[in-house]
Amino acid sequence: MEKFLFRIAKQWIAGDTIDEALKSAIQANKNGMDAILNRLGEHSTSKSQIDHTVLEYLTLVLNLHKQKISGGISVKPTQIGLTLGVEECRNNFETIMEKAALSQSFVWIDMESSEYTDDTIKVYLSLFEKYERLGLAIQANLKRTENDLEILLGRGAKIRLVKGAYRENKKIAYKTRHEVDENYKKLAQMLFAKGNEFGIATHDSKLIELTVNLAKIHQKKFEFQMLKGIRDELKPVLIKGGFSVSEYIPYGTNWLPYSIRRLKERKRNILLLVSSFLHSHRV
């Protein structure tokens, strides 16, 4: 079963190593897209593992600059110390941001499960005061996100809007696809009305259509963000239409929990993955 899942997961995962991730990033650039690289892994509690992860992101940033790859990185806070405390995480992000600022690489902070939301926003805002090329993911499935977004936009934050991939309690999260989609639409409208420089991260055709229509009304700097290997037939269409597209490229050996979460996130993800898999394997 694991071998079968890996064959499927290879659609959206670059491979195990930095070199494989960089190769995928170069290909994304050739296809007219920026690359967003993410080393798989989360909930690190070992200081040595955290230090190793920070070093790997520093190596990524250095190679993006050295190889003139257009794009940046995306980091999960619990990869680099949030499970040990806010200060540990912030200090490690600062180390990464200092190197990224020198090479003009953009850094995204991924949002994880709701127990980390407050601390993640706290870390982001403390760093955003100093580093402009820093963005934060927010999740449409959480009921709190509308209020969070209002506060973040008031501070000029750069936002990536996602649906949300973590299982949450119904008291704090929308549970049906319709509810999540409706909240996503509301948040997207807020971004176009009050934000600037943001990412619309979705593979959903209806939400993409909504975004295209909003872009006709509001002149904003934004991009579509999609996973490597998903909706590959749509990406060039958007680029040809004049839109910026970034490809989110995960890599690393810790691919199994990430892949399972992606499949559990929405039933439609399975259909999209199968469709993309078949599309890429046409003779």
Q: What is the pLDDT of residues 86-141, one digit of tens each?
A: 999 999 999 999 999 998 999 999 999 999 999 999 999 999 999 999 999 999 99
Count of beta carbons in the 10 Å neighbourhood of residue 150: 11
pLDDT at 222 over 70: yes
165-218 pLDDT, tens digit each: 899 999 999 999 999 999 999 999 999 999 999 999 999 999 999 999 999 999
Range of the domain at 85: 2-280
Q: Is the pLDDT of residue 5 over 70?
A: no
Which pLDDT score is estimated for 4? 58
Segment 70-97 mean pLDDT: 98
- The CATH number covering residue 15 comes to 3.20.20.220
Residue partners of 201: CB distance under 8 A and separation at least 6? 137, 160, 161, 162, 224, 225, 226, 248
Cα Rg of the chain (Å, integer): 18
Q: Is residue 283 scored above 50 in pLDDT?
A: no
- The domain tally of the chain equals 1
Q: Tell me the β-bridge partners of 204.
A: none
Phi–psi pair at 38, nearest 5 degrees = -135, 125
Residue 273: partners with Cβ closer than 8 Å, 6 or more residues away: 8, 11, 12, 230, 263
Give the model's pLDDT for residue 275.
47
What is the per-residue pLDDT for 254?
74
Residue 23 and residue 65 in contact, taking contact as beta carbons nearer than 8 Å: no
Is pLDDT of 34 > 90? Answer: yes
Structure tokens at 275: 């469709």
The pLDDT of residue 7: 65
> CA triplet 204, 265, 37: central angle to 5 degrees?
75
CA distance 214 to 73: 27
User: Tens of pLDDT along 230-274?
Assistant: 999 999 999 999 999 999 999 998 766 666 655 655 455 544 444
For residue 158, pLDDT beyond 90: yes
Q: What is the percent of the chain with per-residue pLDDT over 70, rounded to a whole number?
A: 87
